[in-house]
Structure formats: C-alpha cells, structure tokens
Amino acid sequence: MSEGPGPAEWVFLRGLVRESAHWDGFPQTFARAVPGARVRTVDLPGNGRHWRLDSPLSIRETMEFARAELGTSAGMPRYLLALSLGAMVALEWIARHPREIAGAVLINTSLSSLSPLHRRLSWRAWPEVVGALLTADIADRERAILRLTSRSAADDPSRVQARVDAYREHPIRRANVFRQLWAAASYRPPAEAPAVPVLLLGSRGDRLVGPECSEAIARHWGLPLKMHPDAGHDLPLDDPAWTIEAVLAWLETGPQGRSASCG
C-alpha cells in the first residue's frame, strides 16, 4: 500500500457503549501514517450522536445500520478497523457483504462460539464493571472504565475530562448498555472463515477480554495474530504507534490473511 496502490477508505468501529470521540486523536494519527488512508468513524446505534436510538438486540441489525449510514465507498477499497463489539460488527459485515470489504483489522474481540463467558468478560473485572454501571458521578464512572480498558489513561485528567464531555453531549442510556451486552453475548458468527484478509490484534494486558479469545479466533480460522506484550483492552489508546506499525506491516505483506502467528 505504501508503494502507491491508491487511496483506501478506513472505517473505524468502536465497542460496547463507546463512541467516535473515544478514539481521541487516533484517526488523525492513522490517516497521517498510512499512505492513502481516508478515515471515517462511525457511531453505532445507541452510542455517540445516535444515543437517542435503541441499540439493536442483534449484531446483524447493528451492522446494517452502520452500513446504511456509510453508503458506498466512492469507488475506493474499504477496510474496517474495529475494536471489541465493533469487531463483531465487522465480521458480520464481511460475512453478509464480502464484496464491499477489502480487509479488516480486528482488535481485542471475542466470539461466544469459541470462548466461554468468563474469558469473554473476565470474571475478575465483573465487580468493576458493575461498579462503573452503578456509579452516578460521570467522572468517576469514566475513570473506572478507563481503568478497565487502558494501562494508564485513567491517571490522565485530560483523558477523563474528554470522556466526561463526550458523555454530557451524548449520554448513554442504561437500557442500551444491556441491549448491547445481549447482542454481543448472543452473536454467533458464520462457521466459514472470513472471505477477505483479516488481521487480529490482541493485548496481553487486557483486563476486560482475555487475550486467549483472540488466540482462539486465530487458531479456528487460521488468521494472522499479533499480540502486544502489555497494552490494555483499548490498544489504539495505549499504544497507537504499535497498532499502526502492525497494520502497515500487514498491508505490506499483501495482505493474504491465512498464516496464523502469535507475536
């Protein structure tokens, strides 16, 4: 890609009850670093600017909403970069409309058909997850979420304040938290491997979703997997440079997709 195959659209999809604002400056950094990349961020229904909507109870409905909002890719290849629940949306998009997607990078995700619940949502994190959901103070809640998802961002007042500001503009309805949890828990991906090249990225320091979940997907479908040694669940937040380097290396290999490796 860096040799000049032309521009490509990169669609960024966030995870559970997160919105485009939670990418911070990563989309801009990515667009500068990846030649030809034109980044578009999407808010899933119930999140961000779509906070007033009911979140669908299925990943398929969520995917079709995002797909309809984006429309066509203006004649250029479309790649997906997706985190956690967003990666399930990406997999469903590939399964239902493979000709629309050139490739995908899936970060710290899990599938119910391959990993048990206690790994998909670490049992050690349950008290903190429940505590965060029940916390009325916005700053305390966002700080608790950052502790779960990041290695160090909870100690950065500017990161916390940015999330407080995002919540005040686009509050999360509690019902949508549970609707999105249900959609993620009940999602069953197709048995067949994705029909387009896919890179898996995982974090050894993920306290929310066990890194074994990414390893299970890689083994099951024979997909390439690269593991960060200590980043948290929100890998692009904890180490954006590493994330972009992994994507660039993958793009330079083809990408061809079917050679699983853990690094």
Out of 3.40.120.10, 3.40.50.1820, 3.30.310.80, 3.40.1130.10, the CATH code matching 8-252 is: 3.40.50.1820
Find out whether 42 and 12 touch, Cβ atoms under 8 Å: yes
- Check residue 5 and give its pLDDT: 52
Measured between alpha carbons, how far is 239 from 152 in angstroms, rounded to an integer? 11
Domain ranges (residues) in the chain: 8-252
pLDDT (tens digit, 9 = 90+) per residue, 94-152?
A: 999 999 999 999 999 988 777 766 666 665 666 777 777 778 899 999 999 999 999 99
pLDDT mean over 86-90: 97
- Check residue 114 and give its pLDDT: 76
Residue 261 confidence (pLDDT) above 60: no
Find out whether 65 and 47 touch, Cβ atoms under 8 Å: no
Least confident span in 4-8, 154-158, 238-242: 4-8
pLDDT mean over 152-169: 95
Look up residue 204 and give its amino acid: R
Name the average pLDDT for the chain: 90
Note the pTM of the prediction, 2 decimals.
Answer: 0.91
- Check residue 2 and give its pLDDT: 38
Measured between alpha carbons, how far is 37 from 238 in angstroms, rounded to an integer? 21
pLDDT (tens digit, 9 = 90+) per residue, 33-85?
A: 999 999 999 999 999 999 999 999 999 999 999 999 999 877 899 999 999 99
pLDDT (tens digit, 9 = 90+) per residue, 167-210?
A: 999 999 989 999 999 999 899 888 899 999 999 999 999 998 98
pLDDT mean over 143-169: 94
